[in-house]
Amino acid sequence: MKAINPATGEIIKDYPEHSSQEVQHILSSTQSAWEDWRRTSFVHRSTLMGRAADVLRNNSEKYARIMSVEMGKVITEARAEVEKCAWVCEFYAEHAETFLQDEMIKTEASKSFVSFDPMGIVLAVMPWNFPFWQVFRFAAPALMAGNAGVLKHASNVPGSALAIEEVFHEAGFPPDIFRTLMIPAKQVEDVIRDPRVRAVTLTGSEGAGMQVASIAGSELKKTVLELGGSDPYIVLEDADIPACVAMSAKSRMINTGQSCIAAKRFIVVESKVAEFEKAQAEILSQLRIGDPQAEDTQVGPIARADLRDELHDQVTRTLEAGGRLVTGGTFVDGPGAFYQPTVISDVKKGMPIYSEETFGPVSAIIPVKDAEEAIAVANDSEFGLGGSLWTADVNRGEALARRVESGAVFVNGMTLSDPRMPFGGIKKSGYGRELGTYGIKEFVNVKSIWIA
């Protein structure tokens, strides 16, 4: 299992994979650890989860460097990711007991209530784009609920996977309550089908989600899927264009555009298109591209060369179909999988970047006549993860947000995941929720107890 630096193309390290026998041993050890862990108190779990937050912060630079080297994350964003992981640990350390307290129900019984019991081992199949955050937003609530976790991380971030396991060990969690499986994708099915694994959570492509859901479904196991996204960013005629454009650039370029909830389709009323595209192109064309470990770098490489090639193919096919290139659209000279920040305007239905998810620094500007057409275009997508809507009239913004088909809509703001709010999508963006009170209840047995 090779980790390759996408900024240089050099091999970082070749990690040994776990054998089938080693996987069986890990699952057995994790199952044994869970039998004890499920009976621990919230106070005990909370103490350890708080320590996990401390371990993250005390080793922030170390963990940020691992992410930056393995998948090209800009170092300033990598540090922020470590801090966000510490935040989610603290959030569930503080609130898990309240979220999972018995819910009293008034019936004819002398006492009736709902309890929330841990399910067991949860398998997490996680992607490379946010190598720490994607894992901790599952692990913090799952462990606080009394579950155990095994992680099958993306094959290009094995160092991150082992570092996350280290965090929980350093924090004092039982050694086998959270384990990393160093296995290829072809072995995931066997792990899903193992009777000791009770549920699966996956963040990744819709194709991977369909495969995992199909396998888990055949075993009658619970799944939560957070899949792709092609988030709309709606700009109405009364939007504050300077503020809107500045946030649009940040939203499109976070993690070099490699985010499921990055704004991708900029749906702009015709009267504002010229102003919007000019201002956005000016910001994106001036961003500093380079070594992701340099403090002043704003745009790093695409995580893998093949992904950079796929992105360029989407751009090329869109331009051939009539899209208008405003800026970018080419590779960056030199080693590494770099791609210029790109703006394409006059995007219409039928063009690749109108309907396909673009995972990189490519902005699609789609002109529309008015708010009604904007909502129609926003919903004209297989995806439904997040979205943004910009207007001076917040009441109008709220009313329109209710009509956008997605798991989240931010009015006059950038779509973000937040431990306090549920996160997830609809349509081909998946199902189920992470974070908030809804997230911690995904992997529990909702049990009715009735006493005569």
The answer as to whether 420 is a domain residue is: no
Structure tokens at 88: 């989610």
Position 41 in a domain: yes
* Separation CA 272–CA 274 (nearest Å): 6
Is residue 222 located within the same domain as residue 235? Answer: no
- Identify the CA nearest to 119 among candidates 93, 84, 150, 145: 145
Average pLDDT, the chain: 97
Would the pLDDT of 1 be above 90?
no
pLDDT score for 172? 98
Are 242 and 160 members of one domain? no
CA geometry: angle 411, 415, 419, nearest 5 deg: 115
Per residue in 133-177, pLDDT tens?
Answer: 999 999 999 999 999 999 999 999 999 999 999 999 999 999 999
Decide if 392 contacts 409 (C-beta within 8 A).
no
Q: What is the mean pLDDT of residues 256-279?
A: 97
Q: What's the CATH number where 325 sits? A: 3.40.309.10
| pLDDT confidence bin for 306, thresholds 50/70/90 | very high
pLDDT single digits (tens) 375-407: 999 999 999 999 999 999 999 999 999 999 999
Examine residue 433 and state whether it is found in any structural domain, yes or no: yes
- Going by pLDDT thresholds of 50, 70 and 90, the confidence category of residue 312 is very high
Q: What is the DSSP string of 14-76?
A: EPPPPPHHHHHHHHHHHHHHHHHHTTS-HHHHHHHHHHHHHHHHHTHHHHHHHHHHHH---HH
Quick one: what percent of the chain has pLDDT higher than 70? Answer: 100
Options 70, 206, 260, 356, the catalytic residue = 260
Q: Do 41 and 188 lie in a common domain?
A: yes
Based on the domain organization, do 237 and 202 belong to the same domain? no
Residues 222, 227, 233, 234: is their CA dihedral positive or negative?
negative
Q: In whole angstroms, what is the distance from residue 294 CA to residue 296 CA? A: 6
pLDDT (tens digit per residue) in 276-288: 999 999 999 999 9
Domain count, the chain: 2
- Is 108 in the active site? no
- Residues 330/241, Cβ–Cβ less than 8 Å: no
pTM over 0.95, yes/no: yes
- The answer on 175 and 109 residing in a single domain is yes
Residue 422 resides in a domain: no
For the domain that residue 71 is a member of, what is the CATH number? 3.40.605.10
Has residue 280 been placed in a domain? yes
**Domain presence at residue 266:** yes
Asked whether 201 and 123 are in contact (CB, 8 A), the reply is yes
Does residue 260 have an active-site annotation? yes
Handedness of CA 48, 53, 54, 55 (dihedral sign): positive
| Residue among 169, 172, 152, 178 nearest 30 (CA) | 178
> What's 361's DSSP letter?
S
Q: Which of 226, 357, 405, 442 is catalytic?
A: 226
pLDDT digits (tens, 9 = 90+) for 399-448: 999 999 999 999 999 999 999 999 999 999 999 999 999 999 999 999 99
Beta bridge partners of 268: 235, 367
Q: Check whether residue 71 and residue 152 sit in a common domain.
A: yes
Residues 10 and 104 reside in one and the same domain: yes
Q: What is the pLDDT of residues 336-378, one digit of tens each?
A: 999 999 999 999 999 999 999 999 999 999 999 999 999 999 9
Residues 51, 13: one domain?
Answer: yes
Is the same domain home to 404 and 432? Answer: no
Which amino acid, one-letter code, is at 233? Y
Whether residues 159 and 21 fall in one domain: yes
Same domain, 219 and 244: no
Looking at this protein, which amino acid is placed at residue 336? G
Asked if the structure places residue 93 within a domain, the reply is yes
Give me the pLDDT at residue 197, please. 98
Residue 399: give the domain boundaries: 231-411
The tens digit of pLDDT for each residue in 77-88 reads 999 999 999 999
**For 112-136, how does the pLDDT look when each residue is reduced to its tens digit (9 = 90+)?**
999 999 999 999 999 999 999 999 9
313 and 199 co-located in one domain: no
Backbone dihedral angles phi then psi of residue 450, each to the nearest 5 degrees:
-125, 125
Question: Is 342 part of a structural domain of the chain?
Answer: yes
